Amino acid sequence: MATVLSLLLVVLLSHAPSAFPATTTAATTGFRVAITRTHSPNSFTFKERFHRAVQRSRRRREVLKLANYSRHDVEAVFKWGDSEYLIELAVGTPMQPITAILDTGSDLIWTQCTPCIRCLPQPSPYYKPSTSSTYSVLPCSSPSCSGVGHRCNQKACQYDTSYGDNTETRGFLATETLTFGRKRVPGLTFGCGIWNNGTLSGSTGIVGLGRGTLSLPSQLHPRRFSYCLTPYNSSSTGHLFLGSKAKLGRRHRGGHVQTTPMLPSPSAVPFNTYYYLPIQGISLGRTLLPIPKTAFQIKKDGNGGMIIDSGTLLTIVDPAAFHVIVKKILSLVHLPVATSTDELLCFSWTPGLHRLPEMPDMVFHFDGADMVVPKDKYMISDPEEGLCLAIMSGEGTSILGNYMQQDMHILYDLKANSLSFADARCDQL
């Protein structure tokens, strides 16, 4: 493998206009990019889709837990491809289109490229650095090289990243011009993946939005960024906003903008990737649930607490919090229980025989802000097969998943270190 990579490096360098350029600071006044979502095949039933979502969310949580102990294990790109949100952009000069998974739980920006030892199927041609006049491989001496698991190959920075579902990408860190809509940004560090294994859910790679040095926000240095995710069962388009375009304006449904500070990552978390939120408790209707305070405490080893993540479908909470939530849900829902385990809760529901219950809003109480989650964002329903709680149990770090973030404009203020949110029609922003 090392010999093959060395030969490919020679090819990549031979076509690059400058092998080891100085790093370019990418400044931007602001832009927006459309967000779409992947969908599982229609042949999957509701029950199959839900249990696949459980498996993806469970694996995501496991990898987040593992990430506290290994600098090479990062978040999973999940196999069944119906919980990821995608953005379209272009790489290189002339521009070559790519479609990447949007992920606030990881940092590296990468795409599959040629010449390729092993590449996964994707909907568009593989990126060809040999045809781009703005592509340059980075040396190991580059500060960017320390932002990812890496090794040196003929003094070039070779990255090696493995994901929790056994997806892997290996290749070379390089600088390149990325284009978002009409906005061209030169000198961004990204991964040119020439050995890739696993699955990419119909995309070409990943755009990381985490807090680490190689993420898109960290490289662009915007004061803020935001996104608005369209509903799970919708084919409409949401948007990612960066810089001056990221703001919460008048177009939000009901209520007012809520703002909470983001907590610093524990020192045990590699690369400072995750966005931790100061959760104080959870209410269902007017009832503050008796969840132990220890359920959301951040531990010295990096586990515990709650992060917000665009790449996890279901919300995951500590078992102590889950059991309290389930007890309250069972007192409100008078339907036959289909699944009730230490991890999941589902009810049977037959149209014409059962009526969907009236259920109050769920409220996540953060420091200085309340996130109101209506029934259709914490319960997943299908008229033929059932009603399931969109919350699962898992030890370790709790995760506010993207199902609860639907039709909510969420703003990350990186200068103020705060998170703001408001209800919105994401397809109308």
Cα angle 299-408-253, degrees, rounded to a multiple of 5: 135
Average pLDDT over residues 102-120: 91
Average pLDDT over residues 249-275: 77
- Whether 301 is a known active-site residue: answer no
* 262 token code pair: 């983001």
Cα distance between residue 320 and residue 40, in whole Å = 32
- What band does 252 get if pLDDT is binned at 50, 70 and 90? low
Count Cβ atoms within 10 A of the Cβ of residue 375 and give its class: 0-12 exposed, 13-18 middle, 19 or more buried: middle
C-beta neighbour count of 329 within 10 angstroms: 19
Cα distance between residue 164 and residue 166, in whole Å = 5
- Whether 342 is a known active-site residue: answer no
3-state SS class at 208: strand
Average pLDDT over residues 26-38: 76
**Token match 């045809």: residue?**
131
Whether 61 and 399 have beta carbons less than 8 Å apart is answered as yes
For residue 344, the model assigns a pLDDT of 87
Instruction: Identify the H or E element spanning 8.
Output: helix 2-15
* 144 token code pair: 């960017």
Domains present along the chain, CATH in parentheses: 2-38+83-221 (2.40.70.10), 256-428 (2.40.70.10)
Query: Which of 2-6, 204-208, 404-408, 419-423 is least confident?
Result: 2-6
Mean pLDDT of the chain: 83
* Reported pTM: 0.87
> Which residue is catalytic, options 73, 107, 165, 309?
309
Whether 165 and 198 have beta carbons less than 8 Å apart is answered as yes
Average pLDDT over residues 273-288: 95
Per residue in 112-141, pLDDT (tens digit) is 999 999 999 998 899 999 999 999 999 999
Whether 298 and 274 have beta carbons less than 8 Å apart is answered as no
Give the bridge partners for 224, in sequence order. Answer: 413
For residue 65, the model assigns a pLDDT of 58
Whether 102 and 134 have beta carbons less than 8 Å apart is answered as no
